[in-house]
Amino acid sequence: MKLVFLAAALLALVSMSRVQALWLGRLDPKQFLGPWYILAMASRAKDFMVEKDMKNVEGVLVTLTPDNKLRVLSSRQGPDGCHQSTVELLKQESRWVFENPSIGVLDYRVLGTNFKDYAVVFTQLEFGDEAFNTVELYSRTEVASYEAMKLFTKWSQGLGFRAQQQAKLRKDLTCAHKILQ
């Protein structure tokens, strides 16, 4: 039984890697730039399962700096209201993968996108003694399409996230609109 499970898991990883390579090879960074709503998230962060039902839609504005760093401005709900942050990510040697280990971002990449409506983004993070990863559904609109949700679910499950580690974010757009208006 363990051998069957191991073979199925290995097959899933191989097929996900092929999909990933296909998407990353075709991605034009300029098409990823601009405003996005984060509508769903899967995370292995230690507090995510407790907090996931209280998380609101987030706003993200992605730009490229003159020296080709990816700048991500985000606005999300915090304990004291809306919290904005900006991170700059450096391009890795591989195709369209970014990082900034000095702030805990070890890997930031687009797993899948249709280039105009949605993107599924994977991030590997490390803060102090906690290392975890996330998958987020970026959308150009306040409501995700069926195609976008299906792709988000496929990637989340394919990367081993359990149902308890996934969430559609609450439709409170207050913080998202702080940077997307």
Give the pLDDT score at 9: 37
What's the whole-model pTM score?
0.84
Give the pLDDT score at 68: 83
Two tokens, residue 141: 């609109």
Rounded-to-integer distance, Cα 13 and Cα 143, Å: 29
User: What's the start-to-end Cα distance of the chain, in Å?
Assistant: 54
Residues 6+ positions from 92 with CB-CB distance below 8 Å = 98, 99, 107
Two tokens, residue 113: 């996108």
The domain limits of the chain are 2-180
Q: What is the DSSP string of 28-60?
A: -HHHH-EEEEEEEEEE--TTHHHHGGGPBPEEE
Which residues on adjacent β-strands are paired with residue 38?
58, 138
Letter string b/e over residues 29-55, b meaning 16 or more CB atoms within 10 A of that residue's CB: eeebeeebbbbbbbbbbeebeeebeeb
Top-tier CATH class for 2-180: mainly beta
Give the pLDDT score at 114: 87
Give the pLDDT score at 79: 85
Give the pLDDT score at 30: 78
Residue appearing with tokens 């962060």: 45
* pLDDT tens sequence for the chain (181 residues): 433 333 333 333 333 433 443 344 556 677 899 999 999 999 999 999 999 999 999 999 999 999 889 999 999 998 889 999 999 999 887 767 899 999 999 999 999 988 789 999 999 999 989 999 999 999 999 999 999 999 999 999 999 999 999 999 999 999 999 999 7
